[in-house]
Amino acid sequence: MEPPITALRPHLTLAVEPPLALLCPPNLSSLTESRLTQPAAPLSRLSVFDSSRKQNIAQHRKSLPIASVEKRLVDEVRHNDTLIIVGETGSGKTTQLPQFLFNAGFCRDGKTIGITQPRRVAAVTVAKRVAEECGVDLGQRVGYSIRFEDATSISTRIKYMTDGLLLREALLDPYLSRYSVIIVDEAHERTVHTDVLLGLLKNIQRARSKYSNDRVNIEKNKENNGTLSDKENCVFLKQCQSRKFPPLKLIIMSASLDARGFSEYFGGARAVHVKGRQFPVDTFYTHHAEPDYLDAALITIFQIHLEESPGDILVFLTGQEEIESVERLVKERLQQLPEGSRKLLTVPIFSALPSEKQMRAFRQAPAGFRKVILATNIAETSVTIPGVRYVIDPGLVKARSYDPVKGMESLIIVPISKSQALQRSGRAGREGSGKCFRLYPESEFDKLEDSTKPEIKRCNLSNVILQLKALGVDDILGFDFMEKPSRASIVKSLEQLFLLGALTDECKLSDPVGRQMAQLPLDPVYSRALILASQFNCLEEMLITVAMLSVESIFYAPREKLEEARTAMRCFSSPEGDHLTLVNVYHASDEFLDKRMVGLSKEKKDKILSKWCKENFINSRSLRHARDIHSQIRGHVEQMGLRVASCGDDMLQFRKCLAASFFLNAALRQPEGTYRALASGQVVQIHPSSVLFQAKPECIVFNELVQTNHKYIRNISRIDYLWLSELAPQYYCSQN
């Protein structure tokens, strides 16, 4: 049999780049820059996971580039209300700065330091790491909060969270009064939440410093407070009395050396550079474009494993499914190697991975083993995984894309930008010299965009607009965005919100529907579906549907067992469509748990459920996550006073509710078996994984559009065409 690890070498050209630091020289010269440097101490590979862990951690902290500039950084924060900190990935910004500020007294008076992350995984793993560094239990002084998971308490002073979560907090506490410092981390990623947050924080900071100045005046002369409205004054006086309102310190952190944009946006805010440590990285390209990048990645993994000196491998893939399939293939191919060459350990890391599993990526591989980390973009800058010396980069990323004319958002796999490619190769040079294998020709690198387009320019804005409206920002077009989204996409999203009933004719948040929708931590379409479902008496079913749609694919169909997986799926499948099929899976898991689980521990329950999932080709990770989300949103809707009832066997009722909720994504079958989406006019096809793939009903609603070489729709249910004008008359007019 041919060994599985031959092909790549002939494709590769050695094109050694200069050390990364020279490729992207600091670009802060026009700013009021202060270059913070540290003595160049050689960094030894630290084994932070052995018995003298505490000592090693302390030593590791001291060796970080940021450690030697602690005092200067704290002074910078003291003297500047807004500070931009640029520093290479791994220099210690995320884990250390909050600890420096805590030690310097920024949490006096019970205030909290909040650090936002674009990704859930980063918030969780970093919080765990920092809790350990501080020697405290997670959730006490150091905690995290992400959607559907809260590990904080009243004693939490250093709080990591997603940027989206802080936006939600602002709904309840418009001045974010519990925070003395907010650090917007990974700002270079420019997620839509980061961009909206920056605008909001700018306003909050201004309001808080105005109020703190006013406080002095008001305290001097309590009668003379005419500058504030009665309501503001009342809130403000209360805040003053409990001394809740110090000015807000704002720190923007970025791994990208171009800080100019942030500085200008914050009125010429001061920017400082923490110099990192970067060893040279040799970069290799393929001779030709690789037709199958996953296969090329596999070959490269084994080539490194068998031929290169020790060091872990980091592979950048585009999503959970890809990671899981590469993980399986690596394990299979390992079995074909001689016993002595099998010491290769795969560890996945991606956002939807339950947090306890994410931590595996940070653990050192057992002695003699090499670790291969299969990661999404998360490992580009958000988390630094120790031990990596080899990077495999197919040069792709899964990104949101939005067509404001058609009102359609989709996930597509696109080439990364040059700055992302450099960040990725930089991961190989953190602890010593490394190698980066780019699975594309050098000529392709030259064609890449310099930097990534901010997400706000390529996503559906209805979610953030709903939140801004709920925060009292009515003039969305006039909102001070760092980079304005196009007028067309703002208008389209406003129109969608209006059609969903969240906005009035005057474009104000409707009451109660719009307000209720803004309270739910879900996409507006799903929030609306839950509210409608309480009227259709099928909220029980819709809660399950929304929870199951909120996780990555529930079914798992390995290529080599496709038929078995399909047979298993048929046991759950409903002729009405994927939504009811998901409900069936959930009910079946409920039934299974009810029968067997009385008196068992959680671990035992999880184990038994995992076994059941495996037998039924269900992704146990996704199902557990969905069950968790279900119980949380159930809590939300009950708190809102919605009636949670089941429609029992009345599936017609549930399908009508699906039609009323997802009418913006209705599609009609065409003579040749494709579908035409009614809102956008796009021609789409049912994804082969849908239970309706064969049946091809005349009229359907769907939830997701995925673009590969075809435009596929997923999560589909059969509806009656006539229901559309009956249930969504605001959008479809009757033919009569």
Contacts with ligand CDP, residue ranges (CB under 6 A): 64, 87, 89-96, 125-126, 129, 362, 384, 386
Q: Least Å distance between CB 622 and ligand CDP?
A: 24
Cβ–Cβ under 8 Å, residues 231 and 472: no
Q: How far apart are CA 109 and CA 528, in angstroms?
A: 41
DSSP element (H, E) containing 357: helix 355-358
Q: How far apart are CA 93 and CA 71, in angstroms?
A: 14
Closer of 96 and 300 to ligand CDP (Cβ): 96
Choose among 142, 60, 44: nearest CA to 101: 142
Q: Least Å distance between CB 261 and ligand CDP?
A: 20
Q: Least Å distance between CB 349 and ligand CDP?
A: 11
From the centroid of its chain, how far is CA 630? 19
Q: Least Å distance between CB 647 and Mg ion?
A: 47
Place of tokens 């925070």: 179
Q: How far apart are CA 70 and CA 385, in angstroms?
A: 23
Q: Least Å distance between CB 94 and Mg ion?
A: 3
Q: Least Å distance between CB 264 and ligand CDP?
A: 23
DSSP string covering 201-240: HHHHHHHHHHHHHHHHHHHH-TT--TTS-HHHHHHHHHHH
Q: Least Å distance between CB 197 and Mg ion?
A: 17
Closer of 253 and 538 to Mg ion (Cβ): 253
Q: Least Å distance between CB 44 and ligand CDP?
A: 12
Cβ–Cβ under 8 Å, residues 375 and 315: yes
Q: Which amino acid is at 424?
A: R
Name the token pair of 566. 């399909």
How many CB atoms are closer than 10 A to CB 36? 20
Q: Least Å distance between CB 115 and ligand CDP?
A: 10
Name the token pair of 230. 């009665």
Closer of 117 and 489 to Mg ion (Cβ): 117
Give the three-state DSSP class for 573: coil
Partner in contact with 454, chosen from ligand CDP, Mg ion, none, beta carbon below 5 to 8 Å by kind: none
Q: How far apart are CA 356 and CA 368, in angstroms?
A: 24
Torsion sign over Cα 552, 120, 452, 417? negative
Q: How far is CA 572 from CA 565, 566, 694, in A?
A: 12, 10, 16
Q: Least Å distance between CB 374 and Mg ion?
A: 21
Residue showing the smallest CB distance to Mg ion in the complex = 94
Closer of 250 and 626 to ligand CDP (Cβ): 250
Partner in contact with 362, chosen from ligand CDP, Mg ion, none, beta carbon below 5 to 8 Å by kind: ligand CDP
Closer of 96 and 346 to ligand CDP (Cβ): 96
Residues 6+ apart with CB under 8 A from 715: 549, 578, 579, 582, 690, 702, 703, 704
Q: Least Å distance between CB 186 and Mg ion?
A: 6
Closer of 46 and 695 to Mg ion (Cβ): 46
Closer of 94 and 351 to ligand CDP (Cβ): 94
Q: How far apart are CA 193 and CA 715, in angstroms?
A: 26
Binding site for Mg ion (CB under 5 A): 94
Q: How far apart are CA 493 and CA 582, in angstroms?
A: 29
CA dihedral 407→525→516→522, nearest 10 degrees, is -110
Q: Least Å distance between CB 185 and Mg ion?
A: 6
Closer of 94 and 351 to Mg ion (Cβ): 94
Closer of 126 and 551 to ligand CDP (Cβ): 126
Q: How far apart are CA 463 and CA 489, in angstroms?
A: 12
The phi and psi torsions of 425 (rounded to 5 degrees) equal: -65, -30
Q: How far apart are CA 242 and CA 553, in angstroms?
A: 48
Partner in contact with 534, chosen from Mg ion, ligand CDP, none, beta carbon below 5 to 8 Å by kind: none
Partner in contact with 519, chosen from Mg ion, ligand CDP, none, beta carbon below 5 to 8 Å by kind: none
SS (H, E, C) 645-696: CCCCCCHHHHHHHHHHHCHHHEEEECCCCCEEECCCCCEEEECCCCCCCCCC
Partner in contact with 407, chosen from ligand CDP, Mg ion, none, beta carbon below 5 to 8 Å by kind: none
Partner in contact with 129, chosen from ligand CDP, Mg ion, none, beta carbon below 5 to 8 Å by kind: ligand CDP
Partner in contact with 619, chosen from Mg ion, ligand CDP, none, beta carbon below 5 to 8 Å by kind: none
Closer of 63 and 553 to ligand CDP (Cβ): 63
Dmax over CA atoms of the chain, in Å, equals 91
Q: Least Å distance between CB 155 and ligand CDP?
A: 22
Partner in contact with 65, chosen from ligand CDP, Mg ion, none, beta carbon below 5 to 8 Å by kind: none
Closer of 119 and 621 to Mg ion (Cβ): 119
Partner in contact with 462, chosen from ligand CDP, Mg ion, none, beta carbon below 5 to 8 Å by kind: none
Partner in contact with 98, chosen from Mg ion, ligand CDP, none, beta carbon below 5 to 8 Å by kind: none
Choose among 205, 144, 121, 138: nearest CA to 170: 205
Residues 6+ apart with CB under 8 A from 241: none
Closer of 98 and 415 to Mg ion (Cβ): 98
Partner in contact with 64, chosen from ligand CDP, Mg ion, none, beta carbon below 5 to 8 Å by kind: ligand CDP
Cβ–Cβ under 8 Å, residues 421 and 395: yes
Q: Least Å distance between CB 354 and Mg ion?
A: 22
DSSP element (H, E) containing 446: helix 442-447
Closer of 144 and 702 to ligand CDP (Cβ): 144
Closer of 428 and 569 to Mg ion (Cβ): 428
Partner in contact with 164, chosen from Mg ion, ligand CDP, none, beta carbon below 5 to 8 Å by kind: none
Partner in contact with 384, chosen from Mg ion, ligand CDP, none, beta carbon below 5 to 8 Å by kind: ligand CDP
How many CB atoms are closer than 10 A to CB 411? 15
Partner in contact with 386, chosen from Mg ion, ligand CDP, none, beta carbon below 5 to 8 Å by kind: ligand CDP
Q: Least Å distance between CB 250 and ligand CDP?
A: 17
Residue 586 half-sphere exposure toward CB, CA atoms < 13 A: 24
Partner in contact with 320, chosen from ligand CDP, Mg ion, none, beta carbon below 5 to 8 Å by kind: none
Partner in contact with 394, chosen from Mg ion, ligand CDP, none, beta carbon below 5 to 8 Å by kind: none
Closer of 53 and 604 to ligand CDP (Cβ): 53
Enter the DSSP assignment of 486. P
Q: Least Å distance between CB 399 and Mg ion?
A: 21
Q: How far apart are CA 213 and CA 422, in angstroms?
A: 45
Closer of 94 and 263 to Mg ion (Cβ): 94
